[in-house]
Structure 1
Amino acid sequence: METRCVVLDIGGVLEMTPETGWDEEWERRLGLPTGSMHRRLDDIWKAGSIGRITEGEVRARVAAVLDLDAVRTDAFMADLWDEYLGSPNEELIAYVRSLRTRCRLGILSNSFVGAREREQKLYGFGDLVDDIVYSHEIGVGKPAAAAFEVTCARLGVRPEDCLFVDDAEDNIAAAEAFGMRGLLFADNAETIAGIEAHLTRRRAR
Structure 2
Amino acid sequence: MSTDRRIVLFDLFGVIARHQRPGALAELAARCDVPTDTFAEAYWACRPPYDAGQRSASEYWTDVLRRLSRTADTEADTDADAGVIEELRLADIDSWSRVDGRMVAYVRSLRNLVEVALLSNIPSDHADAFRAAQPWLGDLDHVAFSGKINAAKPDPAAFHHCVTAMRAAAGDFLFIDDREENVHAARAIGMHGHVFTGLDELAATVEGWLLADRRAG
* TM-score in terms of structure 2 length: 0.81
**CA separation of 1:31/1:187 partners in 2, compared to 1, >3 Å: closer, same or farther?**
same
Match of 1:146, SS state, is helix
Q: 2:24 aligns with which of 13, 22, 25?
A: 22
Question: Where do residues 152-191 of structure 1 align in structure 2 (5 Å cutoff)?
Answer: 152-191=163-202
Which position in structure 2 is the counterpart of 1:198?
209
Task: Determine the C-alpha separation between the residues in 2 that align with 1:55 and 1:125.
Answer: 25
Q: Which amino acid aligns with 2:183?
A: I
Residues 112-163 of structure 1, C-alpha deviation per residue, up to 9 Å, x if partnerless? 1213211111222532311111111222211122211111111222111211
Instruction: Tell whether the 8 Å contact from 1:3 to 1:161 is kept in structure 2 after alignment.
Output: yes
* Correspondence 1:111 to 2:122: yes
**CA separation of 1:43/1:12 partners in 2, compared to 1, >3 Å: closer, same or farther?**
closer
Match of 1:199, SS state, is helix
Task: Determine the C-alpha separation between the residues in 2 that align with 1:175 and 1:8.
Answer: 11
Which position in structure 1 is the counterpart of 2:54?
52
Q: 1:83 aligns with which of 72, 89, 95?
A: 95
Aligned-residue identity in percent: 26
How many aligned positions are there? 204
Question: Where do residues 58-97 of structure 1 align in structure 2 (5 Å cutoff)?
Answer: 58=60, 66=70, 68-85=80-97, 87-97=98-108
C-alpha RMSD of matched pairs (Å):
2.4
Which position in structure 1 is the counterpart of 2:157?
146
Task: Determine the C-alpha separation between the residues in 1 that align with 2:176 and 2:26.
Answer: 30
Q: Which runs of 5+ in 2 are unaligned?
A: 72-79
* TM-score in terms of structure 1 length: 0.86
Q: Which amino acid aligns with 2:170?
A: P
Task: Determine the C-alpha separation between the residues in 2 that align with 1:66 and 1:101.
Answer: 52
Question: Where do residues 116-127 of structure 1 align in structure 2 (5 Å cutoff)?
Answer: 116-127=127-138
Task: Determine the C-alpha separation between the residues in 2 that align with 1:116 and 1:12.
Answer: 16
Task: Determine the C-alpha separation between the residues in 1 that align with 2:197 and 2:5.
Answer: 26
Instruction: Tell whether the 8 Å contact from 1:165 to 1:185 is kept in structure 2 after alignment.
Output: yes
Task: Determine the C-alpha separation between the residues in 2 that align with 1:141 and 1:63.
Answer: 23
Instruction: Tell whether the 8 Å contact from 2:58 to 2:85 is kept in structure 1 after alignment.
Output: no
| The structure with more radius of gyration | 2
Which position in structure 2 is the counterpart of 1:98?
109
Instruction: Tell whether the 8 Å contact from 2:57 to 2:89 is kept in structure 1 after alignment.
Output: no
Task: Determine the C-alpha separation between the residues in 2 that align with 1:25 and 1:92.
Answer: 28
Q: Which amino acid aligns with 2:172?
A: D
